[in-house]
Amino acid sequence: MNKSVIGFVAGALVLGSIGFAPMVSGASRPAPTMLSAVVHTDGSLARGNGVVTSVQLGTDGYYVVTFNRDVSQCTYTASGGTANATDILDDAVVFTVSPGPNTSTVYVLEYDAILARDSYSSGFHLIVEC
């Protein structure tokens, strides 16, 4: 065997014996936490996971949803939807979401996509992933 190959093999064996090992994969990450809320048109809470309360603020389409933990660094997604199988949402609505006034709240703004951002209330589903 060539001396440079023997030196490389011996060096690799020494490195391996003192605790150096090749990187196999990144450090394991904790599983994400999924929180959710289903909110009625009037802002009342229908159901959810990790959610404490929801309310509609004074105007159509403005809501604040409160969770049982800090959600300020999480990702938020809202979508139109109803809490009951008998209700059907047939309007074109858009949702924007942002962190609320404290670390456990999320603001949701719902508006009509056709009528030039006219605020609108129809109920929604909110997913928060941390």
The per-residue pLDDT for 17 is 46
Residues 39-95 pLDDT 10s: 998 899 999 999 999 999 987 889 999 999 999 999 999 998 888 776 666 666 788
In a domain, 38, yes or no: yes
Domain range for 78 = 34-129
In a domain, 76, yes or no: yes
The per-residue pLDDT for 99 is 94
Residues 5-47 pLDDT 10s: 444 444 444 444 445 455 555 667 778 899 999 999 889 999 9
Classify each residue of 8-45 as buried b or exposed e, where b means 16 or more C-beta atoms within 10 Å of its C-beta.
eeeeeeeeeeeeeeeeeeeeeeeeeeebbbbbbbebeb
The per-residue pLDDT for 53 is 97
The per-residue pLDDT for 15 is 44
Full-model pTM: 0.72
In a domain, 90, yes or no: yes
Count of domains observed in the chain:
1
Half-sphere exposure of 4 (CA within 13 A, CB side): 0
